[in-house]
Amino acid sequence: MFKTTVKNLLEEALTERSDLFLIGFSIDQENHIKIIVDGDSGVLVEDCIFISRAIENNIDREEQDFSLEVMSSGAASPLVHKRQYKKNLSRVLEVRTNSDKIEGKLTNTTDTDILLEWKVRESKLVGKGKVTVKKQASIAYEDIIEAKVMIKF
């Protein structure tokens, strides 16, 4: 009952703010609510406050004891939602599949897959030395085990 109430309030808040989307939601046995959100343009503290108030202001603490934690998806957190890929276009990702691990620039996203591009140094076909070759791979979302944004300084 309590979980359903919280989930409905969360869904209403996310409907009102269509630029935000849910990454994680849990309620433990002590009624500690943990919500992780992301946004098409990132997440500000004000966005977390909006979600928090949408829930907290609509549940009577006299009737239900709970704690609430609303946070944004961390920079080092794996990408879990298709919308996260779109907002990270032109950034370097490390993508792990069953058969491969690829680090490349995210150049395109569709409803079914992503496109990564990267450069490698390969031996020349004729003569000595190496040449830089541009590679690319299309990876279906269903084949991605884990994808992370590589933070470069």
Looking from the CA of 140 toward its CB, the CA atoms found within 13 Å total 4
Output the pLDDT for position 74. Answer: 85
**Is the pLDDT at 75 greater than 90, yes or no?**
no
- pLDDT value of position 20: 96
Encoding tokens for residue 107? 């150049």
Looking up tokens 């829930």 gives: 55
Output Rg (C-alpha) for the chain, integer angstroms.
21
Higher model confidence: residue 129 or residue 35?
Answer: 35
pTM (predicted TM-score): 0.81
The domains found in the chain, sorted by start residue, are 2-72 (3.30.300), 82-149 (2.30.30)
- For residue 76, the SS3 value is coil
Whether 153 shows a pLDDT value over 80: the answer reads no
Q: Render pLDDT for 95-131 as a digit per residue (tens, 0 to 9).
A: 999 999 999 999 999 999 999 999 999 998 888 889 9
- d(CA 3, CA 14) in angstroms, rounded, equals 16
Across-strand partners of 136? 117
Q: Do residues 69 and 34 touch, judged by C-beta distance below 8 A? A: yes
